[in-house]
Structure 1
Amino acid sequence: MDKQRKKTMIFIDADACPKELKKIIEEQALSHGVGYRFIASFQHYSPTADKNVWTFIDDGKEAVDLFILNHVQKGDMVITQDIGLASLVLSKGVYALSTRGKEYNQDTIDTSLSFRYLYQMERKKGRYGGGPKKLSSEDLEQFSYHLLKFLSLHAGKE
């Protein structure tokens, strides 16, 4: 990918991105003329994936995050469930959105990171929360709303 790219892009941390959201992202980004790229580890490789919008990289604990962090530019969007990645891209002037439609922002990211830490400590103690719940119709509506809001502001901008 060209480091001198000027057009707004959406980068999707695709390893844990639900398929319902992938379809929404593709449809909305295409209708607004905004480029998008799904980034996933080879563990999620599919021979039928469109190589124009999918990038598969080496497996590794933070490989997808590092790829996104190294390619994202100010004004881009990152879609991720990873609060740590969101905090890093926010500092680069990047809009960050969770897969549940929550906007990450500088004012609240420290609180989100603190809660993530507390949850990790609870899991280490053997207290599990049972994993994330299934996406609700409200989550999908919230996600679509914030994605459309971003696309409306950035469509075709260079």
Structure 2
Amino acid sequence: MMIFVDADATPRDVLSITRRVAKEADIALVTVSSINHNIDGPNHIQVDAAPQATDMEIVKRMRADEQTIVITQDYGLAAMVLARNGRAISPSGRIFSNENIDSLLAERAMSAKLRRSGKVRLRGPRARTAADNAHFEEALRRLINSFDENA
């Protein structure tokens, strides 16, 4: 099993939780970010700042013979991971699936269209709480265990 973290936009708390859970479960962990982000830790891959470079690096490194979990906020990357039979989870603990990814991509497209129109200004995310971190950890552990159930 392998966990990849799209570290460009992953909160530090989520990265710390993921490292701890991966170590406890003896799962390999790789973080990937563009050169615009300074991520400390072992097994880190830095890519150039080109759009989607981080996403493409993660997808390129996925192996068909390996159970893969990707932590990302990017619905597009999540869709590519699902298409390659991987699993994806957001830092908020949302587990992406074939059942929800199409509606999430459509929602993203609609939000982008509204932002471009200049008629709507969307707020950024609220500050993370301890409850957010606990929810993410519980969802990550559930996702890891789901591989065992399907084996």
Q: Same fold (TM over 0.5)?
A: yes
Write out aligned runs for 1:118-133 (5 A). Answer: 118-126=110-118, 127-133=120-126
Alignment of 1:68 onto 2:58: yes
Listed one character per residue, the Cα deviations across residues 90-136 of structure 1 (whole Å, up to 9, x for unaligned) are: 01110100110000000111000000001001110121212222223
Distance 2:28 2:125 in 1: 29
Q: Does the residue aligned with 2:45 lie in a helix, a strand or coil?
A: strand
For structure 1, the 5+ residue unaligned runs are 1-7
Q: Counterpart of 2:88? A: 96
Task: Specify the SS of the correspondent of 1:16.
Answer: coil
Q: Deviations over 1:44-99 (max 9, x none)?
A: 135xx23x321111111110000011112342000000001101110111010011
**Contact 1:9/1:34, CA 8 A, preserved across alignment:** yes
| Partner Cα distance (1:132, 1:61) in 2 | 22
Q: For residue 5 of structure 1, what is the aligned residue in structure 2?
A: none
- Aligned AA for 2:99? D
Report 1:1-158 matches (<5 A): 8-45=1-38, 49-50=40-41, 52-74=42-64, 75-126=67-118, 127-153=120-146
SS in structure 2 at match of 1:37: strand
* Equivalenced residues, count: 145
* Deviation digits for residues 18-48 of structure 1 (CA, Å, limit 9, x no counterpart): 01111100111001100111100011135xx
Looking at structure 2, the residues matched to 111 and 150 of structure 1 have their Cα atoms a distance apart, in angstroms, of 21
More deviation, 12-21/119-128:
119-128
Q: Percentage identity across aligned positions?
A: 28
- Compare relative contact order (CA 8 Å, sep 6+) and give the higher one, 1 or 2: 1
Distance 2:85 2:127 in 1: 30
Q: Match of 1:43, SS?
A: coil
